[in-house]
């Protein structure tokens, strides 16, 4: 009821009467009033006028199950939301949900992670009150070797969502980091449970530095936030909902074609490495080349110094600029 009341308040320019809300939810006026009071204590500015009703004046950067659900407008992506003020890792929790049979599209969101994870056992800095940590559970009918493409689908979706919500020119650093002005604002971690020929589930975790005001010394050079780059605070729940909307769209294109052909152009347009010299860091093998773009299956095409084109498979590889992170 709270999420529905919020969306109703958001959809009206004017006022919604208490009577209207009572009828909609078949509850008493006191019950409606209690929800409104609760919303106020969470930071929403709601004006109550006699004989007219309630009006939402201002939404703060609230992250809660109700706020996220009231903004989600998808068919399945993020339709079931589990929200935690604090968690060890949203990916770890989503994997547990996957083992327990939870639905495709379930979304785990937290305000803080105590053990946020990056790729290959690295840590993801996850303070409270400013960032997005979310993991979506997927049950795709694809083979395990197609799964790495899903990370690119998410990178494309989040980059588009950031552009739409903030107007900032977010770019993708292949395969799945998002950068703004050459610094990292978002990282992703895909994990899965598979048998030899099929997938039980995939979990894609996304960490976005949204309203972060400062970073620990060791991250300063490489990391930034949407706030630090744009000077504006952003409502995290809106960015979550828009990311889910974009993800549902691109995911369905991916499932229809079985590859990235339908979004290859969109992805390459946002690819920060495109037409740049890059350093490819494979375990035990590092070399320079010129990045061309991704192919239909998400490999990065790189023209090596000897003129040969290498197709680089995301996995154990890292890509850097020749002189820095990008």
Name which of 111 and 177 has its Cβ closer to ligand ATP: 177
In which region does residue 284 sit, left (phi positive, over 0), alpha (psi from -120 to 50) or beta (all else)?
left
128 near ligand ATP, judged by CB under 6 A: no
Q: How far apart are CA 153 and CA 244, in angstroms?
A: 11
Within 234-253, the residues that bind ligand ATP by CB under 6 A are none
Position among 24, 42, 88, 125 found at the interface with ligand ATP (CB under 6 A):
125
Q: Print the binding letters for residues 41-80 with ligand ATP: x by CB under 6 A, - otherwise.
A: ----------------------------------------
Terminus-to-terminus CA distance in the chain, angstroms? 46
Q: Which residue has the tokens 């997005």?
A: 132
The answer to whether 267 contacts ligand ATP (rule: CB under 6 A) is: no
Determine contact, residues 56/82, Cβ cutoff 8 Å: no
Please report, as residue ranges, which positions from 165 to 194 form the binding site for ligand ATP (by CB under 6 A).
177, 184, 187
**How far is residue 136's CA from residue 157's CA, in Å, rounded to a whole number?**
13
Contacts (CB under 6 A) with ligand ATP, residues 190-229: 207, 209, 219, 223
| 95 belongs to the binding site for ligand ATP (CB under 6 A) | no
Judged on CB neighbours under 10 Å (0-12, 13-18, 19+), 305 is exposed
Residue closest to ligand ATP (Cβ): 118
**Beta carbon of residue 317, minimum distance to ligand ATP (angstroms, whole number):** 8
Instruction: Provide φ and ψ at 311, rounded to 5°.
Output: -105, 110
- Bridge partners, 54 (sequence order): 16, 48
User: What whole-number distance in Å separates Cα of residue 190 and Cα of residue 203?
Assistant: 6
Question: Which of 54, 83, 93, 124 touches ligand ATP (CB under 6 A)?
Answer: 124
Give the number of other CB atoms < 10 A from CB of residue 26. 7
| Window 290-319: contact mask with ligand ATP (x via CB under 6 A) | ----------------------------x-
Binding site for ligand ATP (CB under 6 A): 118-119, 122, 124-125, 177, 184, 187, 207, 209, 219, 223, 318
């Amino acid at each position: 009821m709270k999420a529905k009341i919020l969306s109703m308040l958001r959809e009206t320019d004017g006022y919604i009467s208490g009577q209207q809300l009572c009828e909609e939810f078949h509850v008493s006026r006191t019950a409606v009033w209690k929800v409104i009071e609760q919303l106020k204590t969470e930071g929403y500015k709601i004006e109550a006028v006699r004989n007219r009703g309630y009006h939402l004046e201002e939404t703060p950067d609230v992250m809660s199950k109700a706020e996220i659900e009231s903004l989600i407008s998808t068919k399945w992506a993020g339709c079931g939301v589990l929200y935690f003020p604090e968690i060890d890792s949203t990916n770890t929790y989503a994997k547990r949900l996957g083992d327990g049979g939870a639905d495709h599209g379930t979304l785990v969101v937290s305000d803080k992670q105590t053990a946020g994870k990056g790729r290959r056992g690295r840590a993801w800095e996850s303070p409270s009150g400013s960032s997005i940590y979310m993991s979506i559970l997927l049950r795709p009918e694809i083979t395990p070797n197609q799964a790495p493409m899903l990370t690119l689908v998410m990178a494309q979706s989040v980059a588009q969502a950031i552009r739409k919500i903030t107007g900032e020119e977010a770019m993708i650093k292949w395969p799945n980091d998002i950068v703004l002005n050459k610094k990292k604002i978002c990282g992703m971690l895909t994990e899965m449970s598979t048998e030899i020929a099929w997938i039980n589930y995939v979990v894609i975790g996304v960490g976005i530095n949204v309203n972060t005001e400062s970073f620990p010394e060791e991250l300063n050079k490489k990391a930034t936030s949407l706030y630090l780059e744009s000077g504006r605070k952003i409502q995290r729940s809106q960015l979550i909902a828009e990311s889910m909307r974009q993800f549902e769209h691109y995911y369905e294109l991916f499932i229809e074609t079985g590859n990235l052909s339908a979004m290859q152009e969109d992805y390459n347009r946002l690819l920060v490495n495109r037409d740049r010299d890059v350093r490819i860091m494979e375990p035990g093998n590092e070399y320079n080349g010129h990045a061309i773009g991704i192919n239909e299956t998400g490999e990065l095409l790189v023209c090596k110094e000897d003129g040969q084109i290498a197709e680089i498979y995301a996995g154990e590889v890292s890509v850097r600029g020749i002189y820095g992170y990008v």
